[in-house]
Amino acid sequence: MIIPCLDEARHAAGYAETLLAPLSAALPSFEVIFSDGGSSDGTVDLLWGLSGSYPGVTALAGGRNTFRASLERAVAEARGTYILFMEADLSFDPADAAALLAEMKKSGADCICGSPFLGGFLGLPLHRRLLTTAANTLLRLRFGPRLTSYTQIFKLYRADKLKTLRFETEGFALDAELLIKFLKKGWKVSEVPVTMRGRRGGASKMSVARETAGCLKLLFRNPA
């Protein structure tokens, strides 16, 4: 599991209970890589503490990094057969990683998307719900309606496939870019229903203008 972080001290302080405990209960083994993008609120110290206290937990930090660079660095370090991206605010339940993994093993898929459009939304502000619905609707019209969740950052990839791809898009639209590349290569993609929750504490790092621009770029170019 890879979690990019930027000024997430409020969440990082509780990761032992909110992240690592559910993962331990749901999975027989796992690796968690925190990739810090240049936090200034004490997040890095908390991540160092977790990495020193829990086997299989790694913290990467050093300078100011973009979202894309944070993910690239962590993907290069990942050692497992599968890689799951997850948001630092835990908008998805860590225990649901087990459902994605079970579906991947059952279906033989190369990527499993956790889809709140098949599951549900809980406490997500109306403007965020409208934005994500609009973005996914446009991406479905452009790249195929079979999948419902292009933009949500809760996807499980086969590591050997993911590591062959170029990461080009900045911001959260990168997750949609990677999914589109999987589809274009003919790799098998499936979905499972999950619940997406609104942020509980801390400030969102999402810029509506930047993410809208990123989505529009995907619509008008041809990721390869």
pLDDT (0 to 100) of residue 187:
97
Number of domains in the chain: 1
DSSP three-state, residue 169: coil
d(CA 51, CA 29): 16
Task: Show Cβ contacts of residue 40 under 8 Å, excluding neighbours closer than 6 positions.
Answer: 7
- What tokens were used for 32? 């968690």
Tell whether the model's pLDDT for residue 115 goes beyond 90.
yes
Q: What is the pLDDT of residues 149-161, one digit of tens each?
A: 998 899 999 999 9
- What tokens were used for 62? 């050093």
Closest Cα partner for 184 from 113, 110, 78? 110
pLDDT (0 to 100) of residue 203:
56
pLDDT (0 to 100) of residue 173:
86
d(CA 20, CA 18): 6
pLDDT (0 to 100) of residue 1:
95
Q: How many CB atoms within 10 Å of residue 180?
A: 22
Closest Cα partner for 211 from 93, 140, 128, 141? 128
Question: How does DSSP classify residue 92?
Answer: B
d(CA 35, CA 137): 30
Domain with 172 in it: what CATH number? 3.90.550.10
Task: Please answer whether residues 113 and 190 qualify as being in contact, where contact means their C-beta atoms are separated by less than 8 angstroms.
Answer: yes
Q: What is the pLDDT of residues 18-45, one digit of tens each?
A: 999 999 999 999 999 999 999 999 999 9
For 212, the domain range is 2-220
Model confidence band, residue 66 (pLDDT cutoffs 50, 70, 90): confident
